[in-house]
Amino acid sequence: MSFLNFKNPFKKTIKVNGYTMKGKGDVQMFDDAIRQWHHDRNLINGSTDKDQVLKLMQELGELSDNCCKGKDMRDDLGDMMVVMLNIMERNGYSLEGCLAQAYGDIKDRKGKMVDGIFVKEEDYL
């Protein structure tokens, strides 16, 4: 993403919008930087969850296109995460909290693979 100015994304210091972020883990630095990016561009107060879900669907279409074409999907996945962080920010959710919620839902889930898709046990019984 062009708003991030750094040479090595794996260092503990990155420069974002002219200021340097130090001392946090890499994921937290990106989370903070992206949330600030949204605020700086009025994408929190100037948008809605509905608008951002529509944007997420647009990004999903780009992911699908590149997946089907066998192209690199990292930018598409990252763009989707950027939009999801917008939705999290506007609702007061943390990335860790959302992942913990999702993991809590799936950790004991049983099921089977059907044509390359995991189907929950309760959906095929």
Query: pLDDT by residue (tens digit) across 2-20?
Result: 444 444 444 556 665 565 6
The torsion angles phi and psi of 25, rounded to 5 degrees, stand at -65, 160
Task: State pLDDT tens for residues 24-47.
Answer: 567 888 899 999 999 999 999 999
Domain annotation covers residue 49: no
Domain annotation covers residue 21: yes
Domain annotation covers residue 54: no
3-class secondary structure, 75: helix
pLDDT tops 80 at residue 74: yes
Domain annotation covers residue 72: no
3-class secondary structure, 106: helix
Which pLDDT band holds residue 121 (cuts at 50, 70, 90)? very high
The pLDDT value recorded for residue 1 is 39
Which pLDDT band holds residue 57 (cuts at 50, 70, 90)? very high
The pLDDT value recorded for residue 105 is 93
Domain annotation covers residue 29: yes
Domain annotation covers residue 92: no
C-alpha torsion angle, residues 36, 55, 123, 120 (rounded to 10): -40
What are 114's strand-pairing partners? 117
Domain annotation covers residue 59: no
- What's the whole-number mean pLDDT along residues 66-76? 97
The letter for the amino acid at 38 is H
**Structural domain total, the chain:** 1
Pairing of strands 4-5, 111-114: unpaired
3-class secondary structure, 47: coil
Domain annotation covers residue 6: yes
CB atoms inside a 10 Å sphere around CB 4 = 15
- What's the whole-number mean pLDDT along residues 73-92? 97
The pLDDT value recorded for residue 11 is 53
The pLDDT value recorded for residue 3 is 41
Q: What is the mean pLDDT of the chain?
A: 87
Could you list the residue range(s) of the whole structural domain that residue 4 is in?
1-41
